[in-house]
Amino acid sequence: MAIVTVTRNAQITIIKRIREALGIAEGDRS
């Protein structure tokens, strides 16, 4: 269970980082 939780948290963190990166990229473009 612990491993699954860590994996899910890691995936969420990666998604957040990607969204932030895309948001920054879009902000720079506009």
Measured CA to CA in angstroms, residue 13 lies from 8, 22, 23, 26, 29 at distances of 9, 14, 15, 20, 24
- Into how many domains does the chain fold? 1
Dist CA 28 CA 8 (whole Å): 30
What is residue 30's predicted lDDT score, i.e. its pLDDT?
A: 62
pTM for the model: 0.58
At 1-30, the pLDDT tens digits run 688 898 999 999 999 999 999 988 777 766
What's the CA dihedral at 10, 12, 18, 24 to 10 degrees? -120
Dist CA 10 CA 15 (whole Å): 9
Please give the residue range of the domain that contains residue 13.
1-29
What is residue 3's predicted lDDT score, i.e. its pLDDT?
A: 85
